[in-house]
Amino acid sequence: MRLDLSGKTALVTGSSQGIGLAIATGLASAGAAVVLTARGEGKLAAAADEVRAAVEGAEVTTVAADVSTDEGTATLLAAVPDVDVLVNNLGVFGAQPALEIPDDEWRRYFEVNVLTAVRLIRAYLPAMRDRGWGRVLQIASDSAIVTPVEMIQYGVSKTALLAVSRGFAKEAAGSGVTVNSVIAGPTHTGGVEDFVHSLVPGDLPWDEAQREFMRVHRPQSLLQRLIEPEEIANMVVYLASPLASATTGGAVRVDGGYVDSILP
């Protein structure tokens, strides 16, 4: 399979680290010019250097902006008015007792995890549709289907993101633009390491803490380990490529078998 995105521009939100950075690197490896966006200029510059080090000749642009706000979105759109591939990866998560989550926290999760994607789809989809080609991808989570009791605000926001993808796929019907979600399972990132250590008691070494976390908090996983960001990126690059032209409106799983379902 040749995943060729030469001549395409791909924007990945929340791409200064973790899954977003792995996705940007994968897209660059397939020949896309990539746009990294996050809030911190310093972290973005370091991330861009990582992509260039990993992919010889990579074309990388960075835009420092908080795209969870109207102002930050306007900054991004002024710098990058058009893209061929949009990957809505930005998201927040954290553990909190269900009955103690205040309204403001619910609003924050919907603003960052849902409305950010809606704003950017609304901005970029029309030109994709006019050209007759485009890819829109949302990075969702197994928590969209298996709502975790320790962070239901996160799970509910990711459930909404699946509906966002399905709805906009209908809006793009027949245009050559595909819109999909990628359901990522428990993935090894810096933020998840902190999350694991917050739930696993004691000062265990990382390998032991990870195994204990999966055993106690994610026993449904058939992989029985955390997924590496590059494994999520591989699916995203495929769905962004011309080879995935018949996949749209879907929620495609890279969850290590965590979701107990025979459907994707």
Write the pLDDT tens digit of every residue in 19-72: 999 999 999 999 999 999 999 999 999 999 999 999 999 999 999 999 999 999
- What confidence tier does 195 reach under pLDDT thresholds 50, 70, 90? confident
Active-site position among 124, 154, 238, 258:
154
Distance CA 208, CA 219 (A): 15
Which residue(s) pair with 61 in the sheet? 35
Q: What is the DSSP letter of 88?
A: E
* Domain ranges across the chain: 9-184+232-249, 188-226
Looking at domain 9-184+232-249, which of 1.10.8.420, 3.30.420.10, 3.40.50.300, 3.40.50.720 is its CATH number?
Answer: 3.40.50.720
Which residue(s) pair with 62 in the sheet? 36
Which residue do the tokens 């911190």 mark? 40
Q: Could you list the beta-strand ranges (E) of 45-160.
A: 60-64, 85-88, 134-141
Is-catalytic flag, 154?
yes
At 75 the three-state DSSP class reads helix
**197, pLDDT greater than 90:** no
Residue 152 neighbours by CB distance under 10 Å? 17
Tell me phi and psi for residue 161, to 5 degrees: -65, -35
Q: What is the pLDDT of residue 263?
A: 83
Give the pLDDT confidence of 76-128 residue by residue, as tens digits: 999 999 999 999 999 999 889 999 999 999 999 999 999 999 999 999 999 99
What pTM does this model have? 0.94
Give the pLDDT confidence of 210-238 residue by residue, as tens digits: 989 999 988 999 998 899 999 999 999 99
Instruction: Tell me the residue type at 241.
Output: S
